[in-house]
Amino acid sequence: MMEQLAKAWQDVLNKRGFEYGLPSDVSTHGFAIDNLITTLHYFMALLFVGWGIYLVYCLVRFREREGHTADVAPQHFSLPKYLEIGVVIFEACLLVFFSYPVWAKLKTDFPDRETSLVVRITAEQFAWNIHYPGKDGKFGKTNIDLIDGTNPVGLDREDPNGKDDIVSINQFNVPVGKPVIVELGAKDVIHGFFLPNARVKHDAIPGMVFPLWFETKETGKFEIACAQLCGVGHYRMKGYFNVLTQEEYDNWILEEEEALKEEGA
Amino acid sequence: MSHHEMPFWKKYIFSTDHKVIGLQYGITATFFLLFGFFLMILMRWQLAYPGVEIPLIGKALTETGALTPELYNALGAMHGTIMIFLGVVPMGVGAFGNYLVPLQVGACDMAFPKLNMMSYWVYFVGGVIMMMSFLMPGGAAASGWTSYPPLSVISNNAQTVWLLSMVFLITSSLLGSVNTIVTAIQLRAKGLNFMRWPIHVWAQVTTAFLLLLAFPPLEGAAILQLADRVFGSSFFLPSGLVVSGEKLGVAGGGNPLLWQHLFWFLAHPEVYVLILPAVGVVCEIVTTNCRKPFYGYKTMVYSILFLGFMSFVVWAHHMFMTGMGVTLSSFFQATTMIISIPSVIILTTILLTLWGASIRFTVPMLFAMAFLPMFAIGGLTGLPLGLTASDIHLHDTYYVIGHFHYVVAPGTLFALMGGVYYWYPKFSGRHMNEFLGKLHFWVSFVAINFVFMPMFLMGSKGVSRRMYDQTQYSYGASTQSWNVVMSTAAFVLLLAQIPFIWNMFTAWKTGKKVQNDNPWEATTLEWAASSPPPHENFPTPVEVYRNPYSYSATTRKVLPQFIPQEG
Amino acid sequence: MAVHIPYIDKPNPVTGVTNAKLGIWLFLASEVMLFGALFSALITLRLGVSDWPHGYDVLNVPLATVNTVVLIFSSVTVVMAWAALKMHNLKQFKTYMSLTLLMSFIFLGIKAVEYGKKFSHGISPATSNFYAIYFVITGLHGLHILGGIIVNAYLLGPGSHMWKSEPERFTGRIECAGLYWHFVDLVWIFLFPILYLL
């Protein structure tokens, strides 16, 4: 016990584990989100520092002391009104020029399914099942009666479209530079599908399927986190989000298909 | 029979006197606040030192002495529930509302004294039931204070207890809010028209309306969830659920988002239920300690009303990540931006009151002054969460936790603590010790910022909330040392409450006696009664002659509402 | 010991109402929100599935129609009871109040028959969400009826002693009880077509 405490404090004293700021971003849409967050924080800092300076100034200048009495005459200030209007206009601009377009793009401007990688991600306590359609690009039928330990999404291997489907658990591999469409669902409770490094987050809600899309611009190995409390294992519902080169990705698909054939034989 | 001849149990336990009930609320809520805080200390130990045995008491809680994920989730859910429904609301609305609203409108008691007693006892029973859930096999409810189904429906039995307790707490709030509104409107003293109400009364009445209209949908939702759990219905369970590899044997066809809509329809106004009484308290403290009229009384009143109204149409900004389309999210983003306007106005009005003042740095004033920047941080950090684009990254991270804790802890709780120092002479006829008060303030002020400020830094890195051990993730590990700092600060914050509690109890008998009934030279009606006020508050009916917060233009002296003439 | 709270028997000259009347209106406002939430839950659930049954296919419409008439009649009698007090006729008040109570018991009796039939067919809230919301809303409404019965029975029995000492206050109480009763009636008027006829 003392060792762990000592280690924790060693980190504190060595200033390790004090990182802050947005994580690295490999998505093509992330800069818009990051821009908005940064702009907003400058704006917030400006307001806060303005208020703060004013507050401290008042506290010092108008402190109770000998020979100072309060001015009780009715007051009227018009500057705050203009500042207020300024704040309103700024907020309206944020809304119209920063937030609405990003959201509209993410919600409605989906890439072409033909040229994108389409995957189904089904969350469960406490894992991410990632279902790739395989070479034919078509998902096999799924049926909840088929769900068992080896078949987490209930894929029907008898279905011709399902023969080449790949189901990977907690390993989400995508090729860099190709749009990815995720059809997000859940089996049991609400989970939160979160790719911090791709600025993707969406609740996975049982009984519903939500399409999301993103596109990557750099390779790297990252994590999938669960953002929504989903039970005792919420904290360890970790997946891996690997952005591979097209070649690495193709090799991985080949390997998986080999494994499928062996299983079948 | 006069009040003094009543037996002890009737005078202090089953009392119908709003002042006794107010104090009962205050003491019970203080207990729950400390208890909820203590739960958080256990959790903070786990967060700072994952899997390490908790010193002294760990072995009593679990076999290994360290928190288990089950227990961590239960503590998290109970911390939220206790702090909000059993701590802050009963403190702000129950204690301050009950004690002060009748006094500030010049009434002899609440309009329905027996109902008032009943709301306290229903609240008390609800609290006891909530506490009992810790004794349930499998531990207390562990689905977060938001209790999202399906998780809450398929979780342990304590969730049923949680729902039952909520039904009691909601009923208590409903009874209380009817009482507050009727008292404030009907029992006003002669001459006290609405635009002469102290801001605190406006805040309490608006709060009561929010409780009255927003709580019933949660009560309905709680009934539906109870039905799901007890009678096997599937209001919140869609078809085709597979839990741990087994098909769930329910009819299905329900909708998990239905709960979220009903829940947030309450829980967003609830935020304003938490903050408005605090705003009212701060306004009273600020004007009294500035020795000048309040700047923009009418603006303030309209802002509070507008805030109350708008709080009903922003709820879905908690649900941007649940598949919301463009139209709906645009609407809720816009309303969220609009609701920030009255908040900014409220803050600005209080700040402008300081201009030209003669500021007395009493302990309550220190708390009120700390409230302003802390509430500002809480409010400002709401902006990135209210815009969908930035919310994508920050939603459900520690950023959210930091945001609402800044509103509720160094915001509301600081204001309410200031309120305790400010009205203590009214409650008891004695002042609280000033040195202990300043010690309490400064240590708390520094510590609380070290608890909550790092949350924004962690959240921006993407650390999810409600995590038993964030070092499971690489970005969690890279921010882990913040947790050590925050937990240490939280412990210091706990220690800083000792002088406060000590002060509160000892000053009752040994504090400095008040010089007169109006020791702060305030303007509102509660100071017309003696300190402490007698059973019926005002032996002779009071009359109101002017607006609150008035000062003589010639002598610059204070002109309380209840004094007929200048001079 | 009793505190002298003003406006418990006479209305406040400024607001024009007594404390109790304002209180009951506020309480009813919150009740509207409660039932409103449940009705919107019903709508959401219904829109979410394709196989929502028609109420008239699975529920007993004739019995519910009788119940509707019974409730409307009881609303009339409760007003008559109040009017009787206004004319200082306690005896007449008691007759009308007893009639109201009788109607409420008939309502609950018919409801019990309906429930019993469903249970005997093995139908419960677990059967489907239609039945679940049916049982929850009608059950909650039934509880409201039961609450009304308790209040009305008290006012008819021991509560009526107040008539001798404070007649105005007692009349006010009957008026409030009546307002509540109208509300419970009104909920049924909404509930009947939505659950049984659509």
Residue C5 lies in a domain: no
Geometric angle at alpha carbon C91, from C87 and C96, rounded to 5°: 85
Residue A70 lies in a domain: no
Domain spans, chain B: 14-236+255-559
pLDDT band at B325 (very low <50, low <70, confident <90, very high): confident
Which residues of chain B have a CB within 8 Å of the CB of A128?
none
Q: What is the CATH number of the domain that holds A170?
A: 2.60.40.420
Q: What is the CATH number of the domain that holds C141?
A: 1.20.120.80
Chain B residue with Cα closest to A204: B322
- Give the H/E segment covering residue A221: strand A220-226
Asked whether the predicted pLDDT for residue B567 surpasses 70, the reply is: no
Residue A166 lies in a domain: yes
Q: How many domains does chain C have?
A: 1
Rounded to an integer, the average pLDDT of B55-67 is: 90
Residue A148 lies in a domain: yes
pLDDT (0 to 100) of residue C1: 45
Q: What is the pLDDT of residues C147-182, one digit of tens each?
A: 999 999 999 999 999 999 999 999 999 999 999 999
Contact C48 B255 (CB under 8 A): yes
Which residues of chain C have a CB within 8 Å of the CB of B179?
23
pLDDT (0 to 100) of residue B162: 95
Chain B residue with Cα closest to A146: B245
CB pairs under 8 A between B and C: 137
Residue C13 lies in a domain: no
pLDDT (0 to 100) of residue B43: 96
Distance from CA of B265 to the nearest CA of C (A): 10
pLDDT (0 to 100) of residue C49: 87
* A170 phi, psi to nearest 5 deg: 65, 5
Residue B242 touches partner A, C-beta closer than 8 Å: yes
Rounded to an integer, the average pLDDT of B91-105 is: 96
Chain B residue with Cα closest to C25: B178
Q: What is the pLDDT of residues C55-94, one digit of tens each?
A: 999 999 999 999 999 999 999 999 999 999 999 999 999 9
Q: What is the pLDDT of residues A215-238, one digit of tens each?
A: 999 999 999 999 999 999 999 999
Which residues of chain A have a CB within 8 Å of the CB of B299?
none
Q: Residue C47 belongs to what domain range?
A: 19-197
Rounded to an integer, the average pLDDT of B279-288 is: 96
Q: Residue A124 belongs to what domain range?
A: 117-264
User: Are A98 and A123 within one domain?
Assistant: no
Whole-angstrom distance, CA of residue B37 vs CA of residue B88? 12
**Contacting subunits of C (3+ beta carbon pairs below 8 A):** B
Q: How many CB atoms lie within 10 A of CB A51?
A: 18
Whole-angstrom distance, CA of residue B389 vs CA of residue B500? 43
Residue A141 touches partner B, C-beta closer than 8 Å: no
Residue C180 lies in a domain: yes
Q: How high is the mean pLDDT of chain C?
A: 94
User: Are A157 and A51 within one domain?
Assistant: no
Chain A residue with Cα closest to B321: A202
Residue A4 lies in a domain: no
A175 residue type, one letter: P
pLDDT (0 to 100) of residue A135: 86
> Percent of chain A having pLDDT more than 90?
82
> If contacts are CB pairs under 8 Å, which of residues 122-141 in chain C contact chain B?
124-129, 131-133, 135-136, 140
Facing B387 at nearest CB: one of A12, A55, A94: A94
Which residues of chain B have a CB within 8 Å of the CB of A233?
69
pLDDT band at B565 (very low <50, low <70, confident <90, very high): confident
CA B512 vs CA A30, B206, B437, B531: distances in Å: 61, 35, 14, 13
Whole-angstrom distance, CA of residue C187 vs CA of residue C167? 30
Chain B residue with Cα closest to A144: B240
Which residues of chain B have a CB within 8 Å of the CB of A16?
481
Contact C124 B221 (CB under 8 A): no
Distance from CA of B476 to the nearest CA of A (A): 9
Contact B482 A18 (CB under 8 A): yes
Structure tokens at A77: 């200030």
Contact B388 A77 (CB under 8 A): no
User: Are A195 and A121 within one domain?
Assistant: yes
Rounded to an integer, the average pLDDT of B518-527 is: 94
Contact residues for B540 (Cβ-Cβ < 8 A; gap 6+) = none
Q: What is the pLDDT of residues A87-127, one digit of tens each?
A: 999 999 999 999 999 999 999 999 999 999 999 999 999 99
Chain A residue with Cα closest to B376: A48
- Give the H/E segment covering residue B430: strand B430-431
Which residues of chain B have a CB within 8 Å of the CB of C15?
185-186
Asked whether the predicted pLDDT for residue B3 surpasses 70, the reply is: no
Contact A12 B481 (CB under 8 A): yes
Residue C3 lies in a domain: no
Q: How high is the mean pLDDT of chain B?
A: 94
User: Are A159 and A248 within one domain?
Assistant: yes
Residue C102 lies in a domain: yes
Q: How many CB atoms lie within 10 A of CB A245?
A: 12
- Give me the interface pTM, i.e. the ipTM: 0.95
Asked whether the predicted pLDDT for residue C97 surpasses 50, the reply is: yes
User: Are A145 and A255 within one domain?
Assistant: yes
Rounded to an integer, the average pLDDT of B42-56 is: 94
Contact B389 A21 (CB under 8 A): no
Residue C81 lies in a domain: yes
* C5 phi, psi to nearest 5 deg: -85, 125
Whole-angstrom distance, CA of residue C36 vs CA of residue C187? 10
User: Are A151 and A91 within one domain?
Assistant: no
Chain B residue with Cα closest to A55: B351
> If contacts are CB pairs under 8 Å, which of residues 109-138 in chain A contact chain B?
124-125
Contact A188 B468 (CB under 8 A): no
Q: How many CB atoms lie within 10 A of CB A56?
A: 12
Contact A40 B384 (CB under 8 A): yes
Residue C58 lies in a domain: yes
Facing A194 at nearest CB: one of B344, B464, B480: B464
- Give the H/E segment covering residue C30: helix C19-48
Q: What is the pLDDT of residues A130-180, one digit of tens each?
A: 999 988 889 999 998 899 888 999 999 889 998 889 999 999 999 999 999
pLDDT (0 to 100) of residue C4: 81
Contact B212 C140 (CB under 8 A): no
pLDDT band at A265 (very low <50, low <70, confident <90, very high): low
Chain B residue with Cα closest to A212: B323
Facing A33 at nearest CB: one of B291, B369, B393: B393
Distance from CA of A234 to the nearest CA of B (A): 7
Which residues of chain B have a CB within 8 Å of the CB of A90?
none
User: Are A168 and A50 within one domain?
Assistant: no
Contact C5 B254 (CB under 8 A): no
Residue A16 lies in a domain: no
Which residues of chain B have a CB within 8 Å of the CB of C28?
none
Nearest to B331 by CA among C158, C196, A95: A95
Structure tokens at A86: 């300024």
Asked whether the predicted pLDDT for residue B4 surpasses 70, the reply is: no
Which residues of chain A have a CB within 8 Å of the CB of B340?
91
Residue A18 lies in a domain: no
Distance from CA of B40 to the nearest CA of C (A): 33
| E strands, B2-142, in order | none
> If contacts are CB pairs under 8 Å, which of residues 21-80 in chain C contact chain B?
22-23, 26-27, 29-31, 33-38, 41, 44-45, 48-49
Residue A71 lies in a domain: no
Residue C51 lies in a domain: yes
User: Are A257 and A222 within one domain?
Assistant: yes
Nearest to A99 by CA among A91, A88, A111: A91
* B551 phi, psi to nearest 5 deg: -135, 145
Q: How many domains does chain A have?
A: 2
Q: What is the pLDDT of residues B341-366, one digit of tens each?
A: 999 999 999 999 999 999 999 999 99
Contact A58 B337 (CB under 8 A): no
> If contacts are CB pairs under 8 Å, which of residues 49-88 in chain A contact chain B?
51-52, 54-55, 58-59, 62-65, 68-75, 77, 80, 83-84, 87-88
Task: Give the pTM.
Answer: 0.95
User: Are A142 and A254 within one domain?
Assistant: yes
The answer to whether B407 and B401 are in contact (CB under 8 A) is no
Residue B56 touches partner A, C-beta closer than 8 Å: no
Contact C23 B108 (CB under 8 A): no
User: Are A134 and A235 within one domain?
Assistant: yes
pLDDT band at C104 (very low <50, low <70, confident <90, very high): very high
Facing B227 at nearest CB: one of C27, C34, C132: C132
- Give the H/E segment covering residue A193: strand A191-195
pLDDT (0 to 100) of residue B1: 40
pLDDT (0 to 100) of residue B173: 95
Rounded to an integer, the average pLDDT of B513-530 is: 93
B551 residue type, one letter: Y
Residue A6 touches partner B, C-beta closer than 8 Å: no
Alpha helices in B478-543 (DSSP H): 480-510
Chain B residue with Cα closest to A101: B389
User: Are A255 and A145 within one domain?
Assistant: yes
Q: What is the pLDDT of residues B331-345, one digit of tens each?
A: 999 999 999 999 999
> If contacts are CB pairs under 8 Å, which of residues 174-233 in chain A contact chain B?
187-190, 192, 194, 196, 199-203, 205-208, 210, 223, 225-233
Distance from CA of B479 to the nearest CA of A (A): 4
Write down the CATH superfamily of domain B14-236+255-559.
Cytochrome c oxidase-like, subunit I domain (1.20.210.10)
Q: What is the pLDDT of residues B141-192, one digit of tens each?
A: 999 999 999 999 998 889 999 999 999 999 999 999 999 999 999 999 999 9
Structure tokens at B528: 């017309």
Nearest to B378 by CA among B337, B411, B348: B411
Distance from CA of A133 to the nearest CA of B (A): 22
Q: What is the pLDDT of residues B214-226, one digit of tens each?
A: 999 999 999 999 9
CB pairs under 8 A between A and B: 316
